[in-house]
Amino acid sequence: MPRAAMRGAVDLSGLGQTPSAPPAGGGAGAGAAGVRMDATEANFQDAVMSTREVAALVVLWSAGHPETEQAVTNAVTIASQQDGRLRVIAVDVQANPQVAAAFQAQQIPMTLGLIGGQPVPLFAGVQPADQLAPVVAELLKVASQNGVTGRIPGAGGSEQEPAEPPVDPRFEAAFDAVEAGDYDTAIGAYEQVLKESPADEEAKAGLAQVKLLKRVSAADMGQAREAAAANPSDVDAQLLAADFDLVGGHVEDAFSRLVDLVRRTADDERNAVRTHLLELFEIVGPKDERVVKARRALMSALF
């Protein structure tokens, strides 16, 4: 989601046919003041073009799997707290397969950022709304850096917005640091929480997410993938490639890459790979089926 992650992104601004008028009501569905826009193949170009003014979260879901719409609901919840600075573009991939193909979606649900017509890989699966806060903060920072600072008309009034839930005071310092782009301070804040509460799952996940943000913000995705392909035994190159696999929604690829690397390494290198993989597990969530499967594969690789 930082500038580095936007380099080489596919420009979606030309997708679709001749621009058409958005549906009545601005395409808004659930959410405060039109935060949600339900996009189709017919109006998707309009939705993409709108991100030249207002940043968006694009959530690909499927009506054939109703549980995937929870990703849209969670995105709307967090977007509704951004004073109109963030729109949610929801796409039913079952009804709009060309849109899914444009994003090269390999898993549903999938969430991406969209800034000025440029997609920013985020994650696959359903993330709780409260865990989206640091991701959205960083996305809006990048949007501001790229001149995308508009707001959804009518979305800034206090009467139209739901009351924002209080932020857990233990995480305020971390959230503020992420919003300022100070990942080291955010990492320190989460680590302090974990010193006091070592079993805090929310803090573990937050720490892993910020570490991931720091790593990918300092790298170029294309160069990272080229380095990993050219140097299969280079542990650092493979770890970074796995990070980009994850932020691009290729969760199983990230896991399998590192499990295979565990099999091919020993001693300190193996421990570094194992530790990195466990951090990625924290980001995806311990109950996710892909994590459960990868944990079994990791145990097999270790023993």
Q: Count the helices and strands in the chain (H runs, E runs).
A: 13, 5
Domains of the chain in sequence order:
3-145 (3.40.30.10), 166-218 (no CATH), 219-303 (1.25.40.10)
Please, are residues 280 and 255 in contact by the beta-carbon 8 Å criterion?
yes
**Kind plus residue range of the DSSP H or E element containing 71:** helix 70-79
The bridge status of strand 110-115 relative to strand 118-124 is antiparallel
Q: How far is CA 24 from the centre of its chain?
A: 29
Q: What is the pLDDT of residue 156?
A: 52
Q: What is the pLDDT of residue 34?
A: 79
CA distance 55 to 117: 9
DSSP state of 80: T
| List of residues 6+ apart from 169 with CB closer than 8 A | none
CA distance 243 to 238: 9
CA distance 10 to 12: 6
CA distance 142 to 77: 21
CA angle 294, 297, 301 (to 5 degrees): 135
Q: What is the pLDDT of residue 245?
A: 86
pTM to 2 decimal places: 0.51
CA angle 47, 159, 156 (to 5 degrees): 40
For 251, the token pair is 């969760």
CA distance 78 to 132: 7
Q: What is the pLDDT of residue 20?
A: 34
Q: What is the pLDDT of residue 21?
A: 34
In single-letter form, the type of residue at position 287 comes to K
Sites in the chain below the pLDDT cut of 50: 1-33, 157-164
Give SS3 for 136.
helix
